């Protein structure tokens, strides 16, 4: 019996060594290709190990994503609440914690928005600051014991400062709470983004605001969900946080596509004309599941960010929207609701100059920021055309 056990142990050890050797050899070959030809197996997340060589090894590691999956599965079984910088909330949603931002910094941001608002008021343009939620709900944080997160606290203080400065604000955290909506139903479990249903909801809130401020008419079909076909792609989207933790740590998100049943006609900046879905929706990522990328949301909705003219518009309202990737879920509906929509990526607000504003001549400017992103200094870099002296 002892001899049999010894043989089994030796056999297991040999197999383990062979598997490790094969994995190491394949990974080494991939590392060489990475250095020589910049070839790498794509995966959204690669650990930053501090040392460049160690990080490059991790980037090129054979079947890296499957090892992440295995790690995530084990941590899920052990009910561990943290993995690779990601926190699992008590309800299973994944997030990254946000650090504290001091009042002085937040007041600086509020002052910058107030200066921008003053410029726009002088020319008859409305400005609204719209803040998205993020994973941890202000009214039901679901934070595990011992986890500190200041996302909602930072946002509360910034919103108060903006309100004191006389800025029109839409806080979607508060709007959802007042409407009796469970914020978690509006977010992806494995991603930082809100989902397409949330984008449709946000459009309705923005539509109401613009109508109230401008008195314009908007096609009533656009904000009525009964006028849309909703197609559910089950277990299709593994978001940014899911890329760090694998498909077994928190599961995989469904992805809903919301397409109008009524006729639309949208013109791109290059002159191309089509219906909303042809212009703004990319169906290719929905043809085949790909769990090694978080880009289902980004690729399907990404074409909705641009400069568009609504050929069926019932009004002449021109909207300028300065936003991050959260705008991708909202802009498909904005382009149907108003005469013209122009998108500026939030990380390059230097594009917004007096010449640009006078040339485009917007009726409404929307600052739509993801809650953690709203703490970034570059989102308030308006000094190119605002005299602060």
Question: Tell me, what's the pLDDT at 9?
Answer: 58
241 vs 250: CA distance, rounded Å: 9
* pLDDT-based confidence at residue 72 (cuts at 50, 70, 90): confident
Question: Tell me, what's the pLDDT at 384?
Answer: 59
Q: Which two tokens stand for residue 182?
A: 């469970």
Question: Tell me, what's the pLDDT at 351?
Answer: 80
> Of residues 72 and 91, which shows the higher confidence score?
91
Residues 309 and 267 sit within 8 Å (Cβ to Cβ) = yes
Q: Is the pLDDT assigned to residue 82 strictly greater than 90?
A: yes
All residues at 6 or more sequence positions from 311 whose CB lies less than 8 Å from its CB, including other chains: 265, 266, 267, 273
Under DSSP, the state recorded for 192 is: S
* pLDDT-based confidence at residue 14 (cuts at 50, 70, 90): low
**pTM exceeds 0.95 for this model:** no
> Of residues 17 and 351, which shows the higher confidence score?
351
Place of tokens 């992806």: 188
Place of tokens 């308006």: 382
Find the mean pLDDT for residues 97-103.
Answer: 97
Question: Tell me, what's the pLDDT at 330?
Answer: 98
Integer CA distances (angstroms), 354 to 197, 220, 362, 380, 382, in order: 35, 34, 12, 15, 10
Percent of the chain beyond pLDDT 70? 81
Question: Tell me, what's the pLDDT at 144?
Answer: 97
Question: Tell me, what's the pLDDT at 44?
Answer: 52
Place of tokens 């998100």: 253
Q: Is the pLDDT assigned to residue 274 strictly greater than 80?
A: yes
Whose CA is closest to 44, among 295, 226, 234? 295
Find the mean pLDDT for residues 274-279.
Answer: 97
Whose CA is closest to 93, among 191, 236, 176, 172? 191
DSSP lists the bridge partners of residue 188 as: none
* pLDDT-based confidence at residue 26 (cuts at 50, 70, 90): very low
* pLDDT-based confidence at residue 61 (cuts at 50, 70, 90): very low
């Amino acid at each position: 019996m002892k001899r049999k056990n010894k043989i089994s142990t030796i056999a297991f050890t040999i197999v383990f060594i062979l598997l490790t050797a094969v994995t190491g050899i394949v990974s080494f070959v991939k590392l060489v290709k990475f250095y020589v030809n910049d070839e790498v197996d794509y995966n959204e997340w690669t650990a930053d190990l501090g040392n460049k060589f160690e990080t490059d090894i991790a980037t090129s590691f054979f079947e890296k994503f499957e090892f992440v999956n295995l790690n995530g599965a084990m941590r899920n079984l052990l009910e561990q609440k943290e993995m690779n910088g990601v926190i699992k909330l008590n309800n299973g949603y994944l997030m990254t914690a946000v650090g504290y931002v001091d009042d002085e910094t937040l007041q600086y941001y509020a002052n910058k928005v107030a200066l921008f608002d003053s410029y726009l008021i002088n020319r008859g343009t409305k400005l609204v600051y719209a803040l998205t939620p993020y994973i941890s709900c202000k009214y039901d944080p679901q934070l595990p014991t011992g986890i500190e997160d200041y996302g909602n606290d930072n946002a509360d203080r910034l919103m108060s400062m903006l309100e004191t400065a006389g800025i029109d604000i839409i806080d979607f955290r508060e709007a959802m709470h007042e409407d009796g909506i469970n914020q978690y139903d509006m977010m992806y479990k494995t991603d930082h983004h809100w989902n397409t249903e949330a984008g449709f909801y946000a459009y309705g809130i923005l539509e109401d605001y613009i109508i109230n401020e401008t008195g314009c008419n908007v096609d009533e079909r656009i904000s009525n969900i009964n006028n849309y076909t909703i197609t559910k792609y089950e277990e299709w989207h593994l978001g940014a946080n899911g890329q760090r933790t694998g498909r077994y740590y928190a599961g995989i998100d469904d992805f809903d596509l919301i397409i109008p049943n009524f006729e639309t006609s949208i013109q791109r900046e290059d002159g191309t004309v089509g219906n909303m879905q042809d212009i703004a929706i990319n169906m290719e990522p929905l043809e085949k599941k790909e769990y090694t990328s978080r880009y289902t949301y980004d690729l399907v909705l990404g074409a909705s960010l641009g400069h568009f003219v609504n050929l069926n518009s019932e009004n002449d309202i021109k909207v300028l929207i300065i936003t991050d990737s959260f705008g991708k879920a909202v802009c498909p509906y904005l382009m149907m609701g108003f005469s013209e929509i122009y998108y500026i990526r939030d990380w390059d607000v230097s594009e917004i100059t007096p010449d640009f504003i006078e040339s485009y001549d917007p009726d409404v400017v929307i600052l739509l920021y993801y809650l953690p992103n709203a703490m970034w200094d570059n989102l308030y870099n308006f000094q190119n055309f605002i005299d602060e002296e």
